[in-house]
A = this chain, B = another copy of it.
Amino acid sequence: MPTHQHSESDLNARARIRDAALEQFALHGTSGATMRGIAHAASVSVGLVQHHFGTKDGLRLACDELVVEVFRRRVLHLAKKDQLANADALGELFDESPLLLRYLARASLDGSAAADEVFDQLAEGTQGFLTETWPDRFPEGSDDARDTATVMTAMHSGIALLIGQIARRFGHEPDEAIGSARVAMGIMNLYAAMGEFAQSSTGKDVRAAVEDRGAGTDRRRTRPEEPR
């Protein structure tokens, strides 16, 4: 199964190696994947891998670039259709390439710059959606728009990152269900319910308490330690 566009083994060896590396990195992590494993998966010799990419880290960087580029195109495509915040569409975006997603998740944990870049792209697209949909609530360029988009991106990415857990609890096979209707329905149900919650008296209390603690500039543990 090809990772993204091009069909199959009619790729030149360099691209085949890079795709195999992407898969191995995604599956086993940066240090878990081995040069020999990658070479074997690409049906080439270990030497050829180094010939094309120099070192293992060079190979990883090449994968980073690829992932960033693929996501750049996809986010652009979704943004043009105004569907970036459509939970279903976002699900399908990830759905097409669970491997890219695993790669990104690991990259995020490893602190790779590629993960930062993709996250920023998603967040900016999300911010555009928020501003377009609620120009008064999330004015263009406002802190609220930016903060909320950031949080929303993280939360929706959580679905993608933990799709394995969701699939397990849904009784699906792994990598089967991110675009599933049940997931989209769950998101909608959640938003409908928590939307009320956020505007109920309890929710207002929470907001007040949060604001009281000084939204925007507080530092962790700066507030006076509350006696348990």
Chain A residues proximal to chain B, CB less than 8 Å = 28-32, 86-88, 95, 102, 105-106, 108-111, 115-116, 119-120, 123, 130, 133-134, 137-138, 144, 146-148, 150-159, 161-166, 168-170, 176-177, 179-199, 203, 206-207, 209-211, 213-216, 218-220
Contacts and interface: CB of A to CB of B under 8 A. Distances in A.
B88 A186 contact: no
A119 B166 CA distance: 9
B185 A215 contact: yes
Contacts of A116: 165, 168
Given A154-B165, A195-B195, A181 B215 contact: yes
Which of A137, A203, A210 has its CB near the most chain B CB atoms (within 10 A)? A210
A194 to B, nearest CB: 4
A123 B92 CA distance: 24
Interface of A is mostly: helix
A106 B206 CA distance: 32
Given A154-B159, A158-B161, A193-B195, 11 more contacts: A31-B32, A86-B206, A119-B162, A123-B169, A147-B185, A151-B183, A154-B163, A176-B219, A180-B218, A181-B213, A191-B191
B193 A199 contact: no
A184 B176 CA distance: 31
Contacts of A176: 219-220
Contact of A155 (B28, B155, B219): B155
B164 A108 contact: yes
A102 B88 CA distance: 28
Given A116-B165, A161-B161, A218-B180, A210 B185 contact: yes
Given A32-B29, A116-B165, A179 B209 contact: no
Nearest to A220: B176
